[in-house]
């Protein structure tokens, strides 16, 4: 008798994307480059598709004044839930920055899950991501080297610190009472404990990154001693940097990917110029608009390559 092994199909992430359009309080400075809401929405859809998620619906949402509790109003929330039900979506992406309170309230609003009228839902809760959580997920998915993984972890910790919410819950923390003669006390709040634990973890990761950085500087110094000029290819994400690198180095085997943040680490290759001189070409991690400061560590390697390059 043959035995059939039934495997559970992987969960399909079906995302709806909303780009809030908030009326600016003051006009943009003359000469400043602006991105239209439609372009922002297309970019957000591209970020979702980079993770190979299905973007089942996307639209812009006019917001006069962001709601401090949920960013969008209750009427729009009901509309979003109806759309998610219609498509059987299990992920909501709001292409903006959410506060910790807003994120918590949105997660509570959509829990335990959006009922799926099509009957093909996967169960479980609804994932709520803002723009920065989405980009962080992509960086975590793309990280290959030890350094990039540490950089993503550090950015994640910084992001978590912005999401900490004071619940006024008191917890006992005996580790704070290390001096002789100290006997307990009121203890620290849950918020204080969470913040301290994240700061301790952040300190450890920064120390590891410093060690990796020292190794990278040694490698760069050895590279400079060989006298090969460095050419850094810099640009917006998915602007064709990897394709250009492949073309310049004659690499026909490695295909470039038409996705945002396809490269998670700088990629260095040798190329020979028509004059016969050898140069080093560096394909850097692409930039993107509205990137918060917490991601500065993810671009540290790229920024250093650009800083030390002979040609950009």
One digit per residue, the tens of pLDDT, for the chain of length 312 reads 444 444 444 578 999 999 999 877 666 556 555 778 898 899 899 999 989 999 999 999 999 899 999 999 999 999 999 999 999 999 999 999 999 899 999 999 987 555 454 444 444 578 999 998 998 898 888 777 788 888 888 888 888 887 776 544 433 333 333 333 444 445 567 778 888 888 888 899 888 888 877 776 766 666 665 677 888 887 777 667 777 777 877 775 555 555 666 555 667 788 888 888 888 888 776 667 777 666 666 666 667 777 778 888
Q: How far apart are CA 131 and CA 232, in angstroms?
A: 28
pLDDT of residue 169: 40
Q: How far is CA 304 from CA 2, 70, 188, 206, in A?
A: 59, 39, 40, 17
Residue 27 has which token pair? 């006009």
Q: How far apart are CA 152 and CA 285, in angstroms?
A: 13
Longest dimension (CA), the chain: 77
Q: Token match 């290959």: residue?
A: 144
Is 230 in contact with 310 (CB distance < 8 Å)?
A: yes
Q: How far apart are CA 188 and CA 174, in angstroms?
A: 10
Read off the pTM: 0.71
pLDDT of residue 91: 94
Q: How far apart are CA 84 and CA 244, in angstroms?
A: 40
Dihedral (CA of 216, 218, 222, 224) sign: positive
- Phi first, then psi: give them for residue 43, nearest 5 degrees: -65, -40
pLDDT of residue 121: 44
Is 311 in contact with 233 (CB distance < 8 Å)?
A: no
* Number of helices followed by number of strands (H, E) in the chain: 8, 9
Cis peptide before 112 (omega within 30 of 0): yes
Half-sphere exposure of 27 (CA within 13 A, CB side): 3
Query: How many CB atoms within 10 Å of residue 183?
Result: 5
């Amino acid at each position: 008798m043959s035995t059939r092994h039934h495997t559970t199909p992987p969960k399909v992430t079906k995302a709806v994307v909303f780009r809030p359009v908030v009326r600016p309080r003051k006009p943009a400075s003359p000469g400043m480059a602006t991105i239209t809401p439609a372009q922002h929405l297309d970019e957000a859809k591209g970020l979702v598709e980079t993770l190979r998620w299905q973007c089942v619906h996307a639209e812009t949402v006019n917001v006069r004044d962001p709601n401090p509790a949920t960013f969008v109003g209750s009427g729009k929330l009901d509309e979003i839930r109806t759309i998610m039900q219609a498509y059987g979506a299990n992920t909501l992406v709001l292409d903006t920055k959410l506060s910790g309170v807003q994120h918590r309230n949105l997660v509570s609003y959509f829990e335990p899950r959006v009922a799926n009228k099509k009957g093909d839902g996967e169960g479980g809760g609804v994932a709520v991501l803002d723009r920065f959580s989405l980009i962080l997920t992509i960086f975590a998915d793309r990280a290959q080297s030890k350094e990039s993984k540490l950089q993503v972890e550090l950015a994640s910790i910084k992001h978590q610190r912005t999401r900490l919410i004071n619940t006024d819950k008191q917890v006992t923390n005996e580790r704070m009472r290390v001096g002789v003669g100290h006997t307990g006390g009121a203890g620290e709040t849950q918020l204080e404990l969470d913040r301290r634990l994240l700061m301790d973890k952040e300190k450890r990761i920064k120390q590891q990154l410093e060690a990796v950085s020292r190794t990278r500087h040694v490698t760069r110094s050895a590279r400079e001693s060989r006298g090969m000029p460095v050419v850094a290819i810099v640009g917006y994400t998915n602007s064709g940097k990897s394709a250009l690198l492949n073309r310049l180095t004659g690499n026909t085997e490695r295909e470039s990917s038409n996705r945002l943040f396809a490269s998670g680490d700088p990629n260095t290759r040798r190329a020979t110029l028509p004059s016969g001189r050898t140069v080093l070409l560096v394909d850097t991690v692409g930039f993107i608009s509205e990137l918060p400061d917490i991601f500065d560590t993810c671009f540290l390697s790229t920024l250093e390559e650009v800083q030390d390059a002979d040609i950009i």
